[in-house]
């Protein structure tokens, strides 16, 4: 039988724009002590914008952006949307064929007879492209400014970087401060680079030792398991396809309503908006609800 207090709690949740999969979820919520937060689209807006292009020797910015735009047109990632928009602002997109992608890695396709890849370093490597020492120095310099830098390869050669930035949601810092007041430990989890992850963490009040960066999608679920094996009871908050395994593994999976269907399906609880303040409210709601039935 379901205690009546829990049902009241789920009803109140709906009023607050929080959809709870079942009454048991509120019971689970009470026990959590750690909250893992995906960065892109959860702590930040996820509306990335291209800020600059750094071509490698022998390539132009126009060429790198145009080819990256053509290959990203097959992807739904926020990075892809931003690169496509920037490329389209200059020229119509070229057609691409043989599209392929690795979630949390990057994309590849054939554009005008050229083989184009875009993504993180490991993805370029998988596609036979190695960065030189000077390529890597340029990458580090771009990342140090807080950029999410996508590496572009053309016909097996490193061709340059497309640099993007995201904005932190206005309410993220106050919501994270409130999590701390509730005795919860916030942890940032991202597939993005460590430099940008640490800058975001610092701005929202997450300790630099509580940042997991350069994580692959399967690594997100592993991070949850690792904390669980240390005795922690873990909530995971995310929005992307790549967050789904971690949402399912967590003691409590919380999806952003603005996120992908895959994330919502994997979660125990979905907040209707995209605001971390609602994540905090759902935790507070579960505590209040359970107090009334004791």
Tokens linked to 169: 């949601």
The nearer residue to Mg ion, 199 or 286, going by C-beta atoms, is: 199
Asked if residue 119 binds ligand ADP (CB under 6 A), the reply is yes
Asked if residue 75 binds ligand ADP (CB under 6 A), the reply is yes
Residue 272 · residue 256 · CB < 8 Å: no
To which H or E segment does residue 197 belong?
helix 194-204
Q: Indicate which residue of 38, 166, 251, 275 is catalytic.
A: 38
DSSP tag of 159? E
The nearer residue to ligand ADP, 77 or 169, going by C-beta atoms, is: 77
Contact string 201-220 vs ligand ADP (x = CB under 6 A): ----------------x---
Distance in angstroms (rounded) separating the CA atoms of residues 106 and 150: 9
Q: Whole-number minimum distance, CB 48 to ligand ADP, in Å?
A: 10
Please select the residue that binds ligand ADP; options are 80, 176, 201, 234, rule is CB under 6 A.
80
Where along the sequence are the contacts to Mg ion (CB under 5 A)?
38, 40-41, 239-240
Residue 148, binding choice from ligand ADP, Mg ion, none, Cβ under 5 to 8 Å by partner class: ligand ADP
Residue 38 is among the residues annotated as catalytic for this protein: yes
Please select the residue that binds ligand ADP; options are 55, 105, 153, 186, rule is CB under 6 A.
105
What φ, ψ does residue 71 adopt, rounded to 5°? Answer: -75, -35
The residue among 102, 124, 121, 68 whose CA lies nearest residue 241 is 102
Q: Whole-number minimum distance, CB 46 to ligand ADP, in Å?
A: 8
Tokens linked to 94: 């070229």
Q: Whole-number minimum distance, CB 38 to Mg ion, in Å?
A: 4
Which class for 270: exposed (0-12), middle (13-18), buried (19 or more C-beta within 10 A)?
buried
Distance in angstroms (rounded) separating the CA atoms of residues 78 and 164: 10
Tokens linked to 3: 């205690």
Distance in angstroms (rounded) separating the CA atoms of residues 191 and 64: 23
Asked if residue 104 binds ligand ADP (CB under 6 A), the reply is yes
Asked if residue 148 binds ligand ADP (CB under 6 A), the reply is yes
Distance in angstroms (rounded) separating the CA atoms of residues 16 and 194: 35
Asked if residue 190 binds ligand ADP (CB under 6 A), the reply is yes
Segment lying near ligand ADP (by CB under 6 A), choices 11-19, 58-66, 112-120, 245-253: 112-120
157 CB-side CA count, 13 A: 9
Residue 104, binding choice from ligand ADP, Mg ion, none, Cβ under 5 to 8 Å by partner class: ligand ADP
The nearer residue to Mg ion, 39 or 178, going by C-beta atoms, is: 39
Asked if residue 106 binds ligand ADP (CB under 6 A), the reply is yes
Q: How many CB atoms lie within 10 A of CB 176?
A: 23
Asked if residue 18 binds ligand ADP (CB under 6 A), the reply is no
Angle at CA of residue 201, ends 195 and 204, nearest 5°: 145
Residue ranges that bind ligand ADP, judged by CB under 6 A? 38-40, 72, 75, 77, 79-80, 104-107, 118-120, 148, 150, 190-192, 217, 240, 242
- Residues with active-site annotation: 38
């Amino acid at each position: 039988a379901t205690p009546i207090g829990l049902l009241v709690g789920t009803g109140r949740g709906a009023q607050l724009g929080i959809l709870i999969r079942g009454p048991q979820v509120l019971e689970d919520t009470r026990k959590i002590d750690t909250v893992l937060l995906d960065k892109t689209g959860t702590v930040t807006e996820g509306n990335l914008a291209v800020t600059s292009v750094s071509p490698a020797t022998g390539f132009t910015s126009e060429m790198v952006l145009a080819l990256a735009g053509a290959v990203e047109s097959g992807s739904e990632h926020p990075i892809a949307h931003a690169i496509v928009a920037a490329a389209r602002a200059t020229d119509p997109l070229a057609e691409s064929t043989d599209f392929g992608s690795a979630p949390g890695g990057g994309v590849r396709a054939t554009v005008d007879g050229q083989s184009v890849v875009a993504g993180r370093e490991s993805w370029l490597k998988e596609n036979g492209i190695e960065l030189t020492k000077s390529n890597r120095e340029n990458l580090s310099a771009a990342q140090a400014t807080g950029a999410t830098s996508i590496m572009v390869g053309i016909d097996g050669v490193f061709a340059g970087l497309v640099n993007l930035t995201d904005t932190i949601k206005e309410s993220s810092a106050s919501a994270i401060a409130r999590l701390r007041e509730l005795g919860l430990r916030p942890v940032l989890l991202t597939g993005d680079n460590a430099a940008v992850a640490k800058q975001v963490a610092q701005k929202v009040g997450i300790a630099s030792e509580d940042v997991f960066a350069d994580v692959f999608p399967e690594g997100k679920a592993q991070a949850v398991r690792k904390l669980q094996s240390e005795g922690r009871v873990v909530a995971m908050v995310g929005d992307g396809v790549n967050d789904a395994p971690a949402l399912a593994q967590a003691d409590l999976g919380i999806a952003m309503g603005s996120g992908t269907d895959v994330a919502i399906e994997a979660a125990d609880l979905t907040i209707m908006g995209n605001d971390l303040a609602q994540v905090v409210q759902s935790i507070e709601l579960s505590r209040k609800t359970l107090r009334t039935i004791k």
